[in-house]
Amino acid sequence: MASNAAHRAYPSFTLYGAAKAAVIHFAKGFSNDLLGRKIRANVISPGTTNTPVFDRFVPAEQLEAVKKYWADVMPIGRIGQPSDIGKTAVFLASDDSSFMLGAELLVDGGLSYLSK
């Protein structure tokens, strides 16, 4: 798992973004290194997703406002759901993605590449 933060310079997320960019590079390198063993490595880079992490970093009285802010920022008009990421993981684990290796799938509601 990486993050769209590997592609966008969010304030105060420099180290996080750099670490996630490294994860993307690891997938490329591991795919090359493990090619002979027929092991593929791919990466999912989610955007803001509605998980319990919000409860850890956002005060309860601000929670809905923060979620609304992110939904408004997203080109798709909503934040992601865990099932959005899970379905992508199932795809990557299936034979349907057998021709993919070292790839990154941005599952971020269009935030990395589209403007709203």
**pLDDT tens, per residue, the chain with 116 residues:** 999 999 988 888 899 999 999 999 999 999 999 999 999 999 999 999 999 988 888 999 999 999 999 999 999 999 999 999 999 999 999 999 999 999 999 999 999 988 77
Residue 113 annotated as catalytic: no
| Residue 104: both structure tokens together | 């990154």
pLDDT of residue 38: 94
pLDDT of residue 9: 87
Helix (H, G, I), strand (E, B) or coil at 93: helix
pLDDT of residue 115: 75
pLDDT of residue 91: 98
User: CA–CA separation, 112 vs 107, rounded Å?
Assistant: 9
User: CA–CA separation, 45 vs 21, rounded Å?
Assistant: 10
Given a contact cutoff of 8 angstroms between Cβ atoms, the answer to whether 68 and 59 are in contact is no
Helix (H) or strand (E) holding 88: helix 82-93
Among 47, 48, 45, which Cα is nearest to 24's? 45
Q: Amino acid letter at 61?
A: E
